[in-house]
Amino acid sequence: MTRSITVTGDGTAEAVPDLLTLTLAVEVRRETAAHAYDDAAAVALSVTEALRRHGVADGNLRTSGLNLRPDVVWVENEGQKVTGYVASTDLVARLGPPHLAPAAISAAITAGGNNVRINGIEQGFSDSSAVAASAQDAAWHDAEAKARRFAELAASRLGQVLSIEQRPSHDRPVPVAGDMARTVAAEGVAIEPGTVAVSVSVLVAWELLDAEGRQAPPQ
C-alpha cells in the first residue's frame, strides 16, 4: 500500500471591488388592494427610471419579489380588522464601480420618497477569476509547506501528487482601516470600498517517500 500524506491548504487574496449591487424595497399602503398595487408599480417605475438616468442598463435591473397583503391590526373587542392593503416589491440593481454608486442611490431614494428603503448593498467583482487564481496559488503553497513540514518530521520526503480537491470558495467583505480607507461618495451617504477577499481551501494528497526518494515501506 502506498504511504501518503493529506493536508488542507488555505489561501486568501484581496482586491478592491469594481461592482456594487443595491437591493431596494418598495412598499406602499393604501385603502384598497388595487390602489396599493398601482401605486407600488408607479413608485417602482420612478425608481428604475432614476437608476437608468444614472447609467444603470436594463440588463442590470431586476425585480426579485412582488407581494400584496392586507394590513391587519387587532382592535379591542372586535378582533382582527383590515385597515388597508400593502403592496411591495424588491428591486436589485448592479450599479458598477462603487465610486459611481452614491449618486445613483440618492436619485433612487429621491424618486421613491417615503415608499422606498434600502435592504442592503453588496460589493464584489465583475470578474473574480484573477483574484480567485491568486487565492488558489496561496492555498497550494500553504498545503505544500504543511506537507513538507510533516514529511520532514516523519523522516520522509514528498513524492508525486496523488489527488487535489478544491473546497468551495467564498467572497467576504474586508474593511480597510485607518488612512487606507477611501471615501468615494460624491453625494449621498459615503461608501467605503475597502477590499473584498476571496478564500480558497484545497485538499491535497502526496505520495510519501523515504529519505532516499524511494517509496517508503508501510508502517
Residues 8-52 have pLDDT tens digits of 999 999 998 888 899 999 999 999 999 999 999 999 999 999 999
- pLDDT tens by residue, 164-201: 999 866 555 433 332 322 333 334 566 666 788 899 99
CA 83 to chain centre: 38
pLDDT tens-digit series, residues 43-98: 999 999 999 999 999 999 999 889 999 998 888 877 888 899 999 999 999 987 77
Q: Which residues pair with 121 in a beta bridge?
A: 22
CATH number of 19-124: 3.30.70.2970
d(CA 43, CA 41): 6
Torsion region of 178: left, alpha or beta (phi above 0 gives left; psi -120 to 50 gives alpha): left
Domain ranges for the chain, please list them. Answer: 4-16+128-210, 19-124
- As a whole number of angstroms, the distance between CA 92 and CA 119 comes to 10
Superfamily (CATH H level) for 4-16+128-210: Protein of unknown function (DUF541), domain 1 (3.30.110.170)
Residue 177 CA to its chain's centroid (Å): 20
Cell numbers standing for residue 27: 412598499
Report the predicted TM-score, pTM, of the whole model to 2 decimal places: 0.67
